[in-house]
Amino acid sequence: MTAPSDVFLPPVAPSDVQRITCVGAGVIGGGWVAHFLARGYDVTAWDPGADAARRLRQIVDAAWPALTNLGLAPGASRDRLHIVDDLADALADAQFVQESAPEDLDVKIDLLARIDALTPQGVVISSSTSGYSMSEMQVSAANPGRLVVGHPFNPPYLIPLVEVVGGTRTHSGAVAWASEFFTLVGKSVITMEREVPGFIANRLQEALWREALHMVAEGEATVEQIDTAITDGPGLRWPFHGPCMTFHLAGGEGGMAHMLDHFGPSLKAPWTRLEAPELTPELRDAMVAGCETEADGRTNVELIAERDAKMIAIMQAMQDVSRRE
């Protein structure tokens, strides 16, 4: 394995990008196309699948009313989508590439090497992969330094999160470039320092999913009970408080510190099939410090008032949608 190349020379700054190429235009690639078009870019798409052009236009047309409601960038137009038959044509003048081909490691390795060979030097190439590491996928590319993961959530034109991470041969400059670019196109970007299977959000989703499957398999809960447990329970808090701030407030005035000291021993109780981590003093302190940073000077009383107001706003918005249906 070679080290990442020392130089990363992007031909264009993230703020100067005008042309984006999307390779693979199914559910996720099509969603990316819609997002980039709505943000006012020229988008070229290539997908070798049968009927791919019709499917792609259908995805963009279906997304467009929501995107129009949210507000299109000046000049944004579906007419700025160019669907081409040849991968080389698609990539010839690309200034950023988003790959969203099927989740198959051999396909990704081969395709990323081909994209790398056909894309102008220094242009960042990002993969939508849900779980492969870039270290696994960049092995055949001649210029692995510019390959990053930019993991979106479905649909990419509505869910803001993108997790950005490089592989062992990725240049740190490419990771920084991609993070800045995704931020400019309206994404909420998490730049990860280390590769971890499934990145952050899928690992968390997977833990919940695995537990749900255990409960159904054991006859402990029905599918409907599991979904209700989330949608009418913690799910309502999650749009604004992740699991850490949720438990920070569950600790009352003592916050996360009290929460861990009080409930820490129950980590070992068999509430989940997952192995619990050791609650070391270092882990305790890191959790408490992280919550203090997130609280950013707000007291728990202020945080609770903010949480309740947001929860009510979400519930009212959901009721409005149900009434209109």
Ligand X SMILES: NC(=O)c1ccc[n+]([C@@H]2O[C@H](COP(=O)([O-])OP(=O)(O)OC[C@H]3O[C@@H](n4cnc5c(N)ncnc54)[C@H](O)[C@@H]3O)[C@@H](O)[C@H]2O)c1
Contact set with ligand X (CB under 6 A): 23-29, 47-49, 52, 100-103, 107, 111, 128-130, 152-154
CB of 3 to ligand X, least distance (A): 27
**49 and 26 in contact (C-beta within 8 Å)?**
yes
CB of 177 to ligand X, least distance (A): 21
CB of 207 to ligand X, least distance (A): 17
**47 and 24 in contact (C-beta within 8 Å)?**
yes
CA distance 195 to 148: 11
Nearest residue to ligand X, scored by beta-carbon proximity: 26
Name which of 5 and 130 has its Cβ closer to ligand X.
130
CB of 183 to ligand X, least distance (A): 19
Name which of 8 and 46 has its Cβ closer to ligand X.
46
- DSSP string for residues in 154-190: SSTTT--EEEEEE-TTS-HHHHHHHHHHHHHTT-EEE
Name which of 29 and 167 has its Cβ closer to ligand X.
29
Name which of 24 and 144 has its Cβ closer to ligand X.
24
CA distance 293 to 256: 12
CB of 221 to ligand X, least distance (A): 24
Please give the C-alpha separations between residue 284 and each of 105, 222, 228, 247, 289, in angstroms, as whole numbers.
Answer: 38, 34, 31, 13, 9
CA distance 143 to 115: 10
Name which of 161 and 229 has its Cβ closer to ligand X.
161
Name which of 97 and 174 has its Cβ closer to ligand X.
97
Helix or strand (DSSP H, E) at 96: none
What are the backbone angles phi and psi of residue 71, rounded to the nearest 5°?
110, 115
Coil/strand/helix, residue 42:
strand
CB of 261 to ligand X, least distance (A): 38
CB of 23 to ligand X, least distance (A): 5
Q: Amino acid identity, residue 149? A: V
Name which of 167 and 255 has its Cβ closer to ligand X.
167
Helix 223-231, helix 201-217: angle, nearest 10 = 140
